[in-house]
Amino acid sequence: PRQSPWREKYPKISITGTPPVVKFLFLNSLFLPFPRNSCQTGPVIDMPVPASFNDITQDPSLENYIGWVWYEKEVLLPLRWLQGDPAPRVVLRFGSAHYYSIVWVNGVQVVEHEGGHLPFEADISSVVQGSPGSLCRITVALNNTLTPHTLPPGSIQYMADKSRYPKNYFVQNTKFDFFNYAGIHRPVVLYTTPAAYIDDITVTTTSSDSVAMVQYQVSVVGSTANSLSLSLRDQEGKVVATGDGPVGELKVLNPNLWWPYLMHENPGYLYSLEVRMQAQLGGALLEDVYTLPVGIRTVHVTSSQFLINGRPFYFHGVNKHEDADIRGKGLDWPLIVKDFNLLRWLGANSFRTSHYPYAEEIMDLCDAYGIAVIDESPGVGIKLPESFGNRSLQHHLAVMEELVRRDKNRPSVVMWSVANEPASELPPAAHYFKTVIAHTKALDPSRPVTFVTDANYALDHGAPYVDVICVNSYFSWYHDPGHLEVIPLQLTAQFENWYKTYQKPIIQSEYGADSVPGLHSDPPMMFTEEYQQALLREYHSVLDKKRKEYVIGELIWNFADFMTNQGTTRVLGNKKGIFTRQRQPKAAAFVLRDRYWKIANESSCLPPAITSHSLFLK
């Protein structure tokens, strides 16, 4: 159907995640000053949203483009969004855009946002309500430049040597190992709320065997005279608890707990919390209803264990990337669903959102399937001394606020990771990580906090503040390449040194080897499928000893091959995937699959006859 002022085409945000329908035009108007008039920009090209712009055309300058790009789209809003007394609130929301965004509606600036990977939105009611029936123009200016104070940080290097580089030549340097894809990466939606509306809900849960408590806090904006009622339904639709008011506690008898995949025959159990608000506004009675999925579970960390619902949890999982052919970091439903099927095929119960927050659509499926998540901020590659200063710190705190606000109610999120492989051996890292971690804990006292380190255990200034030590190592790859025989000694020493120093549980948060699918050698040589398998097996034999003590998890680097900057150690990207970028298994995937199912079957929580096939489909 075609849209018209009487037909709603742009879906209200729905908790089930509506596939995107908005397509933007990308305006090829680099470096034009703004505000500007779209008819002055010259030729435009079609640019799908969501997608990275880099790989969409045949133009190499767009692939590696750094600077401002413009998107524009005209839409018609349904008349009923623009009328009424009071009229509804109309909101324009971006799931994420990389990196710095300025948004105008009908030429009026409505929002500015710094940072990719996280949502932002603008109340555009006053702009659109004046002109019912006419087109509404949405314009976005987006800049992907990374500086020492962005997250992730980067730096622009001008090449002044005129004998070697053209005039004004510069490159974007980064200290992370994935392609700096840019564009409007996640769905853009328009939605309405009543003029008085539910702005935020916070839910935490506690439980004993037969009783659970769901603590809630609701904030309403737009009215002070309002009433709130809450009801919690189980998966059969039966109301199991009710409450009222902005703060309170719901009591659930004989709760169905939220369990991770492979830890229970019915993982990912979600209740549904319906919050209903009524408010009097200027003689009108307004009602807003929001339904939040709620998983009842607890998380605790001891000196050697990670407990979910009081039972030891071992992370047998992966690190991922949002990355694919053509669409780059653009959200892609078929890929998302394929990846969850592969995770369950593999017997993986967890992943880390290396190295930035993933799409809400992905997180929804983690909640529903019981995949435990270490939710990582975009704090990757914090290496420059100036990136530990106050300006960077303040931005990092703001990013943690956005991330916690977005994901705090997700049962799948069992730990926050504030950074990956920062230069934590630098003395300013102590104050920096103490502050970021304390702030994150203040925002969310219910979850442990970590960051992922590759620093020497004796020199790391951030480790004193984490709840769990997450350590990355690449023995017999970046160190002693080709020497698989060093792994048992070096990996054992790694674990023992960290544990002796901190007496905190440890996750092997990365390990792995590149392999080019189809390359073979016996004895194994680097870059072959056999070498990747052999390296994994060497790591596993040490992990098997240490997981009986204080090692609480292992996350392979990486789930799938992914694109990086070009360089002498990267052949069309990083090849440490156990799946190719097109999601076909390499030999290592079968090694890992055998291992993960074996570990899952050891758990006393599982029925004995569990097989990969019986749990594959939920």
Q: Give the binding site for ligand GCB (CB under 6 A).
A: 176-177, 355, 420-421, 454, 472, 510, 557, 574, 576
Helix or strand or coil: residue 448?
Answer: coil
Min CB(471)–ligand GCB separation in Å: 10
Non-local (6+) Cβ contacts of 94 within 8 A are 101, 103, 113, 119, 120, 121, 184, 186, 188
Task: Pick between residue 383 and residue 405 the one whose CB is nearest to ligand GCB.
Answer: 383
Pairing outcome for strands 211-221 and 247-253 = antiparallel
Core vs surface per residue 428-464: b (16+ CB within 10 A) or e: bbbebbebbbebbbebbeebbbbbbbbbebeebbbbe
Task: Pick between residue 472 and residue 533 the one whose CB is nearest to ligand GCB.
Answer: 472
Minimal CA–CA distance to 276: which of 265, 289, 294? 289
Strand pairing partners for 145? none
Minimal CA–CA distance to 450: which of 397, 409, 509, 512? 509
Task: Pick between residue 190 and residue 463 the one whose CB is nearest to ligand GCB.
Answer: 463
Residue 524 vs residues 299, 379, 515, 575: alpha-carbon distances, Å: 41, 35, 11, 16
Quick one: tokens of 29? 């108007």
Task: Pick between residue 81 and residue 539 the one whose CB is nearest to ligand GCB.
Answer: 539
Task: Pick between residue 176 and residue 539 the one whose CB is nearest to ligand GCB.
Answer: 176
* Gap between the Cα atoms of 246 and 279, Å rounded: 13
Task: Pick between residue 364 and residue 454 the one whose CB is nearest to ligand GCB.
Answer: 454
Task: Pick between residue 355 and residue 547 the one whose CB is nearest to ligand GCB.
Answer: 355
Min CB(421)–ligand GCB separation in Å: 5
Residue 325 vs residues 56, 320, 331, 429, 516: alpha-carbon distances, Å: 10, 15, 12, 36, 17
Minimal CA–CA distance to 409: which of 595, 265, 222, 270? 270
Min CB(199)–ligand GCB separation in Å: 36
Pairing outcome for strands 350-352 and 372-376 = parallel
Min CB(360)–ligand GCB separation in Å: 23
Min CB(461)–ligand GCB separation in Å: 18
Min CB(563)–ligand GCB separation in Å: 11
Residue nearest to ligand GCB (CB): 177
Tell me the one-letter amino acid at 78.
Answer: P
Q: Which of 121, 322, 361, 421 is catalytic?
A: 421
Min CB(581)–ligand GCB separation in Å: 14
| Active site (annotated) includes residue 421 | yes
Residue 23 vs residues 67, 105, 186: alpha-carbon distances, Å: 22, 16, 11
Tell me the one-letter amino acid at 55.
Answer: D
* Gap between the Cα atoms of 411 and 298, Å rounded: 9
Active site amino acids? 421
